[in-house]
Structure 1
């Protein structure tokens, strides 16, 4: 069965939220303790409907089920559960990076290129709007995907959840168009 990428719609909300919670519960224990995993499942999996309303959120659907999701934002919010400095202000593409947001893959669909396809779609859309940089706040399970996609670590971070639990994370960036590597002969 093949997964098909499409722009998410409001009706996808409940399925996206369940996918995100299941992904966290299944993938986070390899990186976080039980309290951190439970907190993340509660606080970072809430769908920011502004992403859907803005047309910047994508889902992969297979057999009528959503198996992966993620998107980007032209707004000033870096990740779910963030409130410090976050607002609905539109970012300036000339001076600020577009935000990669809320990437989740169902555990039985990992390592099939779905995350990369979503990142490609996000990058293309951000480029079309004039953005030259991408930024994200990666939870630890996502770091390998983002590194493979050309993101570099800016700094380690600690994400305080609303319940006081803290998650280790990594702030990452990359140019919309990464430098072309020269081929050696």
Structure 2
């Protein structure tokens, strides 16, 4: 089996990213969420944010042309996909006073627990640090919490994430410091 290659996502990847996001939710969410929550997540959390691709802050693991993992970071105000559109979503964050966001991490069910998510997070840390950010934040869905916790993110708040159909998912707000001297995990 070919080894995954981590690379920047391209506009031509959007269809494959959307398919991966949906498949990842269907594969992984049932371990943490009931059937209705999984269906809502598959509908509302699986729309690729093309701004991340345009900004060059979104990455994919490619195996012989198949996208098996994706994720990235953002220097913009939107915290997570499915949070609804707000006028401030595209506002550039101030690296001196605001944290960068980790966004839209998904791994195909057959490729979990192989370090792909960690490799994407390492890329996000290095890139955000290089742009002057001093911390990262994210809104984790329950399947992502173990990865983020193991990586070194600190849990801030447990919450419910409202979705457009009136349902909600369990979520955890998390943060990660980016001191220049901090060793990469």
TM-score range, shorter chain: over 0.9
Deviations along 1:34-64, one digit per CA (max 9) or x if unpaired, are 1110000010110010000100000000121
Listed as ranges, the matches of 1:97-176 within 5 Å are 97-176=99-178
1:138 CA drift (Å): 0.2
Deviations along 1:129-162, one digit per CA (max 9) or x if unpaired, are 0001000000000000000110000000111101
Q: Which runs of 5+ in 1 are unaligned?
A: none
Number of equivalent positions: 181
Q: 1:58 to 1:50 in 2, by over 3 A?
A: same
Alignment partner of 1:12 is 2:44: no
For 1:84 and 1:46, the matched residues in 2 are separated by: 12
Q: 1:61 to 1:73 in 2, by over 3 A?
A: same
Aligned residue for 2:106, secondary structure, equals: strand
Give the structure 1 partner of residue 54 of structure 2: 53
For 2:98 and 2:56, the matched residues in 1 are separated by: 20
For 1:156 and 1:80, the matched residues in 2 are separated by: 18
Q: Which runs of 5+ in 2 are unaligned?
A: none
TM-score by length of 1: 0.94
1:179 CA drift (Å): 8.1
Given that 2:84 and 2:164 are in contact with CA atoms closer than 8 Å, whether structure 1 keeps it comes out as: no
Aligned residue for 1:42, secondary structure, equals: helix
For 1:91 and 1:110, the matched residues in 2 are separated by: 31
For 1:19 and 1:147, the matched residues in 2 are separated by: 23
For 1:83 and 1:98, the matched residues in 2 are separated by: 19
1:177 CA drift (Å): 3.7
Give the structure 2 partner of residue 78 of structure 1: 79
For 1:25 and 1:164, the matched residues in 2 are separated by: 20
Q: 1:141 to 1:178 in 2, by over 3 A?
A: farther
- State the superposition RMSD in angstroms: 1.5
TM-score by length of 2: 0.94
